[in-house]
């Protein structure tokens, strides 16, 4: 059961709250429609229930508020608007990525593709989906965790009659299995046709909470729609005959040629028009809407089973707990989620292919001069480039890891941001670092092979200090990936991550070079021995060369600049995360 108690949105400046003391319930096994005209507060009410908007009140999902539920996706399925998926991701890839976030097996994606009728479109890109197919994908995303409750905002809006019928049938089937369904609509006829109970809002307040039979009787009634070029004459004739027969008939002129007749039938209206020689262009039975409320006052009283607004209700509203907007939970399987997110689109593969191609071309062109050392040839890093292609590609992959997540927030529907969870951050660092190492290794191997192929065996050999150079190369690639990742996470845009990667050689390296060239720079020749004297644990003398190799990497201008940049970005990321938690 879903119970909403005293929901009240935060009032704006000099404006009343959009939702004011809303209390109702949606029972299991039934479809409940939240009805109201556009701007009546339906969507805001849903956001208050889901703790996506600040205000007051509490919503219980089978006795527990949402923030007390360990796995929300297994209790509440949500569909607010369109699916925020990457346009280049496939339908099946989107669902499998969300399966990892919800902690359910990947086979659940194929099961739901069958349920929502997308089994033949699993390999289709999201950008190619029609409105109906996109809504089916959104419903599949809401059903991933097999939730008990479905909360949907205008799920049938903009759909064809066939798609509407399918959508309502699926919601009815979920309710028939014991689930709770709550959806919003602005069409009274749709609410009457699809729901078991209708909760009506007007101006953010509850005006009616009725069974569908009472709603249809009090809000809807049948009418006969007539279209004729002599509408005024036909209205006079129908009213005259109704008074003569003492029947309650109401004729409403809706336009110059259209009439709505209440309390009569098509046969009676047709006979009357025939007897008086009035031509009829349309004659049909319809269901009319009586308007948002029976009471024309500013705040209509609830009708047909609505909860009365008594003094106790006002007291409850004043004592209702505040609703705090809490961060969305991270994926339950972050590593699997990140792998599917990264390789679920072609951009990662295209970046790797482009980087390897550019690296090979630059390496061949650099070897033509005959003056470049072997390590510069293998890394394809001439002096005119701020970074080698592989390092820049690693930084771009890292920037996309968070940048695309903020642009297409699959983990935080309705929030517009991505959660700052430690597990998700560690998964992104691990995956982006692994991709950076793979890219660096492939670039060196490809460059060596191309140089041997073009110039023979004289180029592309193993440098004498290969160990130190390899460690420095790996550190540069991973550091660029992490710099792009953290900068995109701090500023929430991919471009900031790319800018942070380029800022290392352009801005930080000259600064570090000036610092290292100063007279206060201390020699590191005896650093291992001094460290052994201070350490409580003695390491073997063979480890001194490893210590010196690491120190040489860090003290080089690029390594020092990258270390400084990463330190700044880590501090900024932690600060923004803590500030966000303080707000929540």
- Report the b/e string of 144-177 with b at 16+ CB within 10 A: bbebbbbbbbbbbeebeeebbebbbebbeebbee
Kindly report, residue by residue over 44-62, the tens digit of the pLDDT: 999 999 999 999 999 999 9
Closest CA to 462 of 478, 446, 444, 477: 444
CA 474 – CA 436 distance, rounded (Å):
8
Sheet of strand 205-211, all strands in order from the earlier edge strand to the far edge: 76-80, 149-153, 180-185, 31-35, 197-202, 205-211
pLDDT at 93 over 90: yes
Mean per-residue pLDDT over the chain, rounded: 84
The rounded percent of the chain whose pLDDT value lies above 90 is: 53
CA 470 – CA 482 distance, rounded (Å):
18
254, 260 Cβ separation under 8 angstroms: yes
For residue 198, the SS3 value is strand
Rounded alpha-carbon distances, angstroms, from residue 221 to 38, 192, 263: 22, 11, 9
Homologous superfamily of the 2-217+296-307 domain (CATH): P-loop containing nucleotide triphosphate hydrolases (3.40.50.300)
pLDDT confidence tier of residue 480, bands split at 50, 70 and 90: very high
100, 156 Cβ separation under 8 angstroms: no
Closest CA to 472 of 548, 550, 415: 550
570, 486 Cβ separation under 8 angstroms: yes
Farthest CA pair distance, the chain: 117
pTM of the model as a whole: 0.78
pLDDT confidence tier of residue 463, bands split at 50, 70 and 90: low
Q: What's the pLDDT score for residue 317?
A: 45
Q: What's the pLDDT score for residue 457?
A: 67
Q: What's the pLDDT score for residue 294?
A: 42
pLDDT at 298 over 70: no
7, 19 Cβ separation under 8 angstroms: yes
* Angle 151-156-161 from CA coordinates, rounded to 5°: 150
Q: How many CA atoms lie within 13 A of 446 on its CB side?
A: 22
DSSP class of residue 324? P
Rounded alpha-carbon distances, angstroms, from residue 300 to 46, 336, 401, 421: 22, 53, 51, 46
Kindly report, residue by residue over 8-40, the tens digit of the pLDDT: 999 877 788 999 999 999 999 999 999 999 999
409, 415 Cβ separation under 8 angstroms: yes
Contacts of 338 (CB under 8 A, 6+ apart): 331, 401, 424, 427, 428, 430, 431
Domain range list for the chain: 2-217+296-307, 229-280, 334-583
Question: Which helix (H) or strand (E) is 434 found in, with range?
Answer: helix 422-455
Rounded alpha-carbon distances, angstroms, from residue 120 to 107, 112, 136, 144: 16, 12, 13, 18
pLDDT confidence tier of residue 308, bands split at 50, 70 and 90: very low
CA 90 – CA 96 distance, rounded (Å):
10
Name the packing angle between helices 557-583 and 544-555 (round to 10°): 80
CA 250 – CA 164 distance, rounded (Å):
32
* Count of C-beta atoms within a 10 Å radius of residue 218: 14
Kindly report, residue by residue over 330-389, the tens digit of the pLDDT: 888 999 999 999 999 999 999 999 999 999 999 999 988 777 888 888 899 888 888 999
């Amino acid at each position: 059961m879903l119970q909403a108690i005293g929901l009240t949105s935060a009032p704006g400046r000099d404006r009343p709250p959009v939702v004011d003391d809303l209390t109702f319930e949606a029972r299991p096994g039934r479809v409940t429609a939240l009805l109201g005209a556009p701007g009546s507060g339906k969507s805001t009410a849903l956001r208050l229930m889901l703790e996506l908007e600040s205000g007051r009140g509490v919503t219980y999902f089978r006795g527990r508020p949402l923030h007390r539920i360990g796995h929300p996706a297994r209790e509440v399925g949500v569909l607010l608007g369109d699916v925020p998926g990457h346009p280049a991701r496939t339908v099946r890839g989107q669902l499998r990525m969300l399966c990892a976030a919800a902690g359910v097996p990947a086979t659940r994606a194929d099961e739901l593709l069958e349920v929502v009728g997308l089994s033949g479109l699993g390999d289709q890109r999201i950008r190619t989906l029609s409105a109906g197919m996109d809504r089916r994908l959104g419903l599949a995303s809401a059903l991933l965790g097999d939730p008990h409750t479905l909360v949907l905002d205008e799920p049938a809006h903009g759909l064809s009659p066939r798609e509407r019928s399918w959508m309502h049938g699926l919601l009815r089937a979920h309710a028939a299995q014991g689930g709770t369904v709550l959806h919003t609509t602005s069409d009274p006829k749709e609410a009457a046709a699809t729901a078991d109970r209708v909760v009506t809002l007007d101006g953010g307040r509850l005006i009616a909470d009725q069974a569908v039979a009472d709603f249809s009787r009090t809000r809807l009634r049948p009418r006969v729609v007539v279209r004729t070029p002599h509408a005024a004459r036909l209205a006079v004739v129908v009213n005259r005959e109704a008074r003569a027969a003492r029947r309650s008939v109401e004729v409403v002129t809706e336009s110059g040629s259209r009439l709505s007749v209440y309390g009569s039938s098509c046969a009676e209206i047709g006979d009357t028009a025939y007897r008086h020689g009035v031509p009829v262009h349309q004659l049909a039975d319809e269901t009319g809407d009586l308007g948002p409320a029976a009471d024309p006052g500013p705040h209509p009283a609830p009708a047909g089973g609505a909860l009365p607004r008594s003094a106790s209700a006002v007291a409850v509203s004043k004592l209702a707990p505040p609703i705090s907007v809490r961060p969305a939970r991270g994926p339950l399987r972050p590593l699997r989620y990140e792998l599917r997110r990264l390789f679920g689109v072609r951009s990662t593969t295209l970046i790797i292919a482009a980087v390897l191609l550019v690296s090979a071309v630059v390496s061949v062109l650099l070897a033509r001069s005959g003056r470049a050392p072997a390590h510069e040839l293998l890394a394809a890093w001439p002096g005119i480039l701020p970074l080698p292609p592989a390092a820049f590609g690693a930084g771009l992959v890292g920037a996309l890891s968070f940048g695309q997540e903020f642009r297409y927030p699959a983990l935080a529907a309705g929030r517009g941001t991505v959660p700052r969870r430690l597990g998700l951050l560690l998964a992104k660092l691990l995956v982006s670092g692994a991709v950076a190492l793979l890219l660096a290794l492939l670039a060196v191997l490809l460059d060596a092979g191309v140089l041997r192929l073009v110039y023979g065996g004289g180029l592309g050999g193993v440098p004498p200090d290969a160990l130190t150079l390899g460690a420095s190369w790996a550190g540069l690639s991973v550091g660029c990936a992490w710099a792009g990742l953290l900068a995109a996470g701090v500023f929430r845009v991919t471009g900031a991550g790319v800018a942070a990667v380029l800022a290392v050689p352009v801005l930080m390296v000259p600064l570090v070079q000036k610092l290292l060239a100063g007279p206060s720079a201390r020699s590191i020749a005896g650093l291992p021995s001094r460290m052994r004297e201070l350490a409580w644990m003695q390491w073997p003398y063979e480890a001194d060369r490893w210590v010196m190799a690491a120190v040489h990497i860090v003290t080089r201008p690029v390594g020092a600049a990258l270390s400084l940049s990463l330190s700044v970005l880590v501090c900024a990321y932690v600060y923004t995360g803590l500030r966000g938690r303080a707000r929540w």
